Amino acid sequence: MEISKGKAVFLLLCLIFAVSSCGGLLGPLGFEIGPSESPDEPGSDRLLVVTSIYPLTCLVDEIGTYRVDTQTLLPPGENAHMHELTPEQMTQVTDADLLLRIGGGLDDWVLRSFAMARDRARRISVTDTARSRKPAARPGSPDSIAFDSSTIDWSNPHLWLDPLIVRDVVVPLITENLIAADPEGKEHYQAHSARFRSQLTGLHEELKRLMSGLPSEKFLSDHPAWTHFAQRYGLTQVDVLQTCTASEPDPATLSRIIDDALEKDVSVVLTTRGHSDQLARRVAESINAALVEMDPIGDPGEPDRRGYFGLLRYNATRLRRALSAEQD
Ligand SMILES: [Zn+2]
């Protein structure tokens, strides 16, 4: 029996409808989720991604969703720059498919652990890869907002605190590595990556509004965590009390920082959760500034700074409040 082209298309559509209505769930982006990929099922065949710090876990969770299990090596509230893993934490990497660290000297403490993973596990240092690529601006892309990568200090590893660097550099890098580790999930990762990147544009717009019109835009920070954020949102990080790795500044340097901060009328000194605040406290007292604790790493146990969006909003709101406070 001959079937006309029109009838054949109709029958095919009926068949697709029948299959999708009895077995499949339609995912949030319209692609089908097979029963074995249901978010509710235990994922023995899921990719295991182990990260050094929680912000990277947040990004992987957004892109990988239910195809990926994630583990973070740094416990909440610890210093991301100088952590020592317990033997138990060291072995968390044994079954990992992908090992992700921020690099740039921030989380070198993780290297001994990563060395214990199986050979075929992919190992990625986000900062070092981003620095070697020096991404170009992407005018004309659907999410495009002017992004001049030549002004970014790629040696500062706190890249995750700028949503546009995350959108245009870090997310593509993670997506590409998830696909390399799990080629069958390519469409899934690409779809979630696109959705997430579009949300990051929204977050950027939101933060831009939040950080605008402040009575003061100047602050000191205990270390260069907020350099990228400040640059993105028109704030001025007048100085940092110490670099990522250095110990306390010598008295002459400290005295210069204090004089400069007094001259520029700095009213806020940022400290970092998990870091000692002794030096920052002394400086804040010397210049009569407010001491404000930030949490650039976030915490899955704290609803107000859980997930990537929560983490950025939490810190931006704290900074806005501190910079908005009445000046003496
Ligand atoms: Zn830091």
Per-residue pLDDT of the chain (328 residues; tens, 9 = 90+): 444 554 544 444 433 333 333 333 333 333 333 333 455 555 568 999 999 999 999 999 999 999 999 999 999 999 999 999 998 888 889 999 999 999 999 999 999 999 989 999 999 999 999 888 766 555 445 445 556 777 889 899 999 999 999 999 999 999 999 999 999 999 999 999 999 999 999 999 999 999 999 999 999 999 999 999 999 999 999 999 988 766 788 899 999 999 999 999 999 999 999 999 999 999 999 999 999 999 999 999 999 999 999 999 999 999 999 999 854 4
What are the tokens at 63? 């892109």
What are the tokens at 175? 């997506």
Give the distance (Å) from ligand 1 centre to CA of residue 283.
19
Give the closest residue to 220 by CA, choosing from 236, 234, 235, 239: 239
Give the distance (Å) from ligand 1 centre to CA of residue 232.
17
Give the closest residue to 241 by CA, choosing from 266, 262, 258: 258
DSSP 301: T
Give the closest residue to 97 by CA, choosing from 177, 199, 175: 177
Give the distance (Å) from ligand 1 centre to CA of residue 225.
5
H/E run at residue 60: helix 54-64
DSSP E strand boundaries for 131-288: 218-221, 236-240, 268-272
Give the distance (Å) from ligand 1 centre to CA of residue 25.
41
Give the distance (Å) from ligand 1 centre to CA of residue 273.
10
- The dihedral built from the CA positions of residue 279, 282, 285 and 286, taken in this order, carries a sign that is negative
At residue 18, the pLDDT reads 38
At residue 100, the pLDDT reads 97
At residue 15, the pLDDT reads 39
Distance from the Cα of residue 295 to its chain's centroid: 13
* Identity at 156, one-letter amino acid code: N
Main-chain dihedrals φ then ψ at residue 75, nearest 5 degrees = -70, 155
What are the tokens at 2? 């001959």
What are the tokens at 81? 């720059």
Give the distance (Å) from ligand 1 centre to CA of residue 252.
24
SS3 12: helix
At residue 175, the pLDDT reads 97
Give the closest residue to 154 by CA, choosing from 176, 128, 175: 128
Residues lining ion ligand 1 (Cβ < 5 A) are 225
Length of the chain in residues, anyone? 328
At residue 245, the pLDDT reads 66
Give the distance (Å) from ligand 1 centre to CA of residue 83.
12
Spatial contact of 238 and 220, defined as CB atoms under 8 Å apart: yes
What are the residues whose beta carbons fall under 8 Å from the beta carbon of 215, sequence distance 6 or more? Answer: 323, 324, 327
Give the distance (Å) from ligand 1 centre to CA of residue 12.
56
pTM (predicted TM-score):
0.84
